[in-house]
């Protein structure tokens, strides 16, 4: 379910017309629906109700303070990958005891910071990292709670750039080596073995790879629990969303099929996984990012020019790959709708940004109505891996962000002032 839809011929986020937000806050503009975030969290929470569980939102997908506060208020924890993310989560009201720290390259200072804050678990990705955590915890006279990330060598059948659970990937420790690692880790004085973690990839659209991975890893979890008294098993994130057609996910039918495809819903996910997880008798952690935030956000952009070449109709907009890189980076599909619905003939159009790269596009050969300068478009499903992946390429300011709840809306991040982009830069002393 999400709360972006047409009311008459105007596009709305919850009860607020998106056009009114653009008038107020300008463009490009990210807009998030708080009700959508809440419902997505609650859907997962209910689906996992038969097991003791904790949902740790992967804030790499969307780390706006207002988004994080929404999820912290719902009792959620957070999956973090840097001390910056931990600081951000704490600033938004997160409880560090509900935070898990993932990532293959944790630095000494990051480990020290997370230990001092008291995170629930370090999700360890290598033995040298384990040694490092033990050493730092010893120095600080602390016991570090850890889980090792197991690489189950299961193909998630997703985009190559976001698959993580095979031996071609840098993540985790091979399943065959895990028991040896736990045996050695159990001898480290400043380590507490708290759990086991895995994450096989992102934007998974079928339940089978999850099922295969849980089945493969469960016997290992049982043995580790018996030997080392583990407390939790984290099954990672990765639940995919519907990008095409995004608007249809507001239709209850979405829970069954869309465009003839079966969709991976929390109910289907839980129906297949809970029976495998419950007998383990452990706390189950989940680390969803995209499922919660993806369809809770849009990016609105203004058409600056319409340019017809011999071959193509280009809609040149004021957002660019620096605002939303997914089409350029993964050839990702984002549904695009005009803020004012137009009837009439559809024209095959390329929606492109102003950046000096041919990869700076949002859609190619997309059937769109006849549009002109000053019309606005919404790029849907932009709530996950949207703003968080933005950059200042071409010295472009980062977009503003707005949160909507019912009739209310608030600016939750100002558009970045352009001078801030080079703040901290200077010339060398001999150039003065």
Ligand X SMILES: Cc1ncc(COP(=O)(O)O)c(C=O)c1O
Ligand Y SMILES: N[C@@H](CCCC[NH3+])C(=O)O
Q: 236 contacts which partner out of ligand Y, ligand X, none, CB within 5 to 8 A by kind?
A: ligand X
Q: 322 contacts which partner out of ligand Y, ligand X, none, CB within 5 to 8 A by kind?
A: none
Report 154-173 residues binding ligand Y (CB under 6 A).
162
Q: Do 165 and 179 meet the contact criterion of CB atoms below 8 Å apart?
A: no
CA distance 43 to 71: 13
Nearest distance in Å: CB 384, ligand X: 6
Residue 58 engages ligand X in binding (rule: CB under 6 A): yes
What the block records as the tokens of 186 is 């159990």
Q: Do 85 and 64 meet the contact criterion of CB atoms below 8 Å apart?
A: no
**97 among the known binding-site residues?**
no
Q: Do 28 and 35 meet the contact criterion of CB atoms below 8 Å apart?
A: no
CA distance 27 to 378: 11
Residues with Cβ within 8 Å of residue 66, at least 6 apart in sequence = 32, 34, 92, 401, 403, 410, 412
Report 114-153 residues binding ligand Y (CB under 6 A).
none
- Residue with Cβ nearer ligand X (61 or 409): 61
- Residue with Cβ nearer ligand Y (164 or 409): 164
Q: 318 contacts which partner out of ligand Y, ligand X, none, CB within 5 to 8 A by kind?
A: none
**8 among the known binding-site residues?**
no
With contacts defined by CB under 6 A, name the span among 23-31, 281-289, 320-328, 352-360 that binds ligand X. Answer: 281-289
Residues with Cβ within 8 Å of residue 246, at least 6 apart in sequence = 2, 4, 295, 334, 335, 380, 381
**253 among the known binding-site residues?**
no
E strand residue ranges, 77-202: 77-80, 99-101, 121-124, 144-151, 173-174, 191-197
Q: Which of 30, 38, 33, 32 is nearest to 70 (CA)?
A: 38
Nearest distance in Å: CB 82, ligand Y: 13
Three-class secondary structure of residue 44 per DSSP: helix
What the block records as the tokens of 316 is 């040149």
Q: 376 contacts which partner out of ligand Y, ligand X, none, CB within 5 to 8 A by kind?
A: none
Among 34, 82, 83, 202, the residue binding ligand Y under the rule CB under 6 A is 202
Nearest distance in Å: CB 77, ligand Y: 17
Give the residue numbers marked as catalytic: 356
* Window 313-332: contact mask with ligand Y (x via CB under 6 A): -------------x---x--
Cα–Cα distances in angstroms (integers) from residue 40 to residues 49, 194, 291, 374, 412, in the given order = 14, 28, 7, 34, 20
Please give the DSSP secondary-structure letter assigned to residue 81.
Answer: S
Report 203-262 residues binding ligand X (CB under 6 A).
203, 236-239
**406 among the known binding-site residues?**
no
Positions at the binding site for pyridoxal 5'-phosphate: 238, 287-290, 385
Positions touching ligand X (CB under 6 A) are 58, 61, 79, 102, 164, 199, 202-203, 236-239, 287-291, 384
Positions touching ligand Y (CB under 6 A) are 60, 162, 202-203, 326, 330, 385
Positions at the binding site: 238, 287-290, 326, 330, 357, 385
């Amino acid at each position: 379910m999400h709360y972006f839809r047409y009311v008459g011929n105007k596009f709305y986020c919850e009860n607020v017309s998106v056009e009114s937000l653009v008038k107020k806050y300008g463009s490009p503009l990210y807009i998030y629906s708080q009700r959508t975030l809440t419902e997505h969290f609650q859907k997962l929470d209910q689906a996992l109700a038969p097991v003791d569980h904790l949902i740790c939102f992967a804030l790499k997908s969307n780390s706006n303070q207002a988004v994080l506060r929404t999820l912290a208020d719902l009792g959620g924890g957070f999956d973090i990958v840097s001390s910056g993310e931990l600081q951000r989560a704490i600033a938004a009201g997160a409880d560090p005891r509900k935070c898990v720290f993932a990532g293959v390259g944790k630095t000494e200072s990051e480990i020290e910071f997370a230990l001092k804050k008291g995170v629930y678990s370090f999700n360890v990705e290598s033995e040298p990292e384990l040694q490092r955590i033990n050493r730092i915890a010893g120095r600080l006279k602390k016991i570090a709670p850890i889980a090792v990330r197991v690489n189950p060598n299961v193909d998630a059948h997703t985009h190559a750039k976001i698959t993580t659970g095979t031996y071609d990937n840098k993540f985790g420790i091979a399943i065959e080596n895990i028991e040896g690692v736990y045996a050695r880790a159990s001898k480290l004085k400043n380590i507490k073995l708290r759990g086991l973690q895995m994450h096989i990839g992102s934007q998974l659209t079928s339940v089978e790879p999850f099922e295969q991975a849980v089945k493969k890893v469960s016997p290992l979890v049982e043995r580790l629990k018996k030997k080392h008294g583990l407390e939790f098993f984290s099954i990672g994130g990765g639940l995919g969303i519907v990008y095409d057609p995004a608007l249809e996910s507001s239709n209850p039918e979405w829970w069954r099929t869309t465009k003839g495809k079966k969709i991976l819903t929390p109910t289907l996910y839980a129906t297949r996984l809970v029976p495998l997880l419950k007998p383990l008798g452990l706390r189950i952690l989940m680390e969803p990012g995209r499922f919660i935030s993806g369809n809770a956000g849009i990016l609105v952009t203004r058409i600056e020019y319409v340019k017809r070449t011999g071959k193509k109709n280009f809609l040149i907009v004021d957002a660019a790959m620096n605002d939303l890189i997914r089409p350029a980076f993964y050839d990702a599909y984002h549904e695009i709708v005009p803020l004012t619905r137009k009837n009439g003939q559809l024209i095959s159009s390329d929606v492109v940004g102003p950046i000096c790269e041919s990869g700076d596009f949002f859609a190619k050969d997309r059937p769109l109505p006849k549009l002109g300068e000053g019309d606005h478009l919404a790029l849907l499903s932009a709530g996950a891996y949207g703003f968080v992946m933005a950059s200042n390429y071409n010295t472009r300011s980062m977009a503003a962000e707005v949160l909507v709840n019912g009739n209310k809306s608030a600016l939750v991040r100002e558009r970045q002032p352009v001078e801030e982009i080079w703040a901290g830069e200077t010339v060398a002393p001999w150039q003065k």
